[in-house]
Structure formats: C-alpha cells, structure tokens
Amino acid sequence: MDKGKALEARVTTLEKTVDTHGIEIIALFGLGAVLGIVGFSHFLTWLLKNYRNITIAALTGFMAGSLNKIWPWKRALEPLHEQNVWPTDFAGDAQVGWAVGFFVVGCGVIVAVELADRWLKTKKTVS
C-alpha cells in the first residue's frame, strides 16, 4: 500500500470514528494522551531528581536497544521480518549523504542547546 492510500485509509477511519462515536471520543482520547504525557514527564523528573545515575543508565539502554528498530537500511527477508544491512549492501538508494547531514545537524542542535544553557546559567549568576 502506498503512502497516499495509507493516509487516506487513516483519515477514513478517523471520519468513521467521529461519525459513529462523535467528537467526544476523540476529545477523550486526546485528553488521555495529554494527561499521560504530563504524568510521565513528572514521573521522569522525579526519577531524575532522586535516582539520576540509574535513570540515565536505563534511558541510555532504551535508546541503544531501539537502534535496531530505527536502523534505516534493512533487507526484507519475509513479511514482517527484516535484517539490518550496511548502507553499502542496501538494495536501492541508500541516501547516506542525507543521513550524515541530519546526524551533523542533530549534533549541532545539541551543542547549540548546551552552549545556550551554559550562557544562560552564567548570565543568571552575574545578575
């Protein structure tokens, strides 16, 4: 299924849900999503304040463990089964330049945020 048809199917499903249950169910779902995100954010903040090192270790483990799933270069073995491959072994346009470019931009954003944080902290101590 191409991306256009997949998006159309999702929009149709959403329209059917609104027609069947009304906008209330969508609003309730949205409210639950917002409350869940806010609640998890507070819980994560509490964990970082009370158990910083173990929390950072666990989050690092989650991110490292997810790399296998988000690796962009895969070879389909059978339906629902894929194998990660190096970009040089990828059948198709690997777009390595784009991947490297986004990596560099991401690193630049992280460095910029860290520098801005340090600058703001020194500005507060001077004031």
Please give the model's pTM, rounded to 2 decimal places: 0.58
Would you tell me the crossing angle of helices 3-21 and 23-50 to the nearest 10 degrees?
110
Q: Which amino acid is at 55?
A: T
77 vs 70: CA distance, rounded Å: 17
Which has the higher per-residue pLDDT, 74 or 79? 74
> For residue 82, what are the contacts with CB-CB under 8 A and spacing of at least 6?
74, 75, 76
Question: What confidence category does residue 115 fall into, taking pLDDT thresholds of 50, 70 and 90?
Answer: very high
User: Is the separation of the CB atoms in 66 and 55 below 8 Å?
Assistant: no
Which has the higher per-residue pLDDT, 13 or 119? 119
Question: What confidence category does residue 127 fall into, taking pLDDT thresholds of 50, 70 and 90?
Answer: low
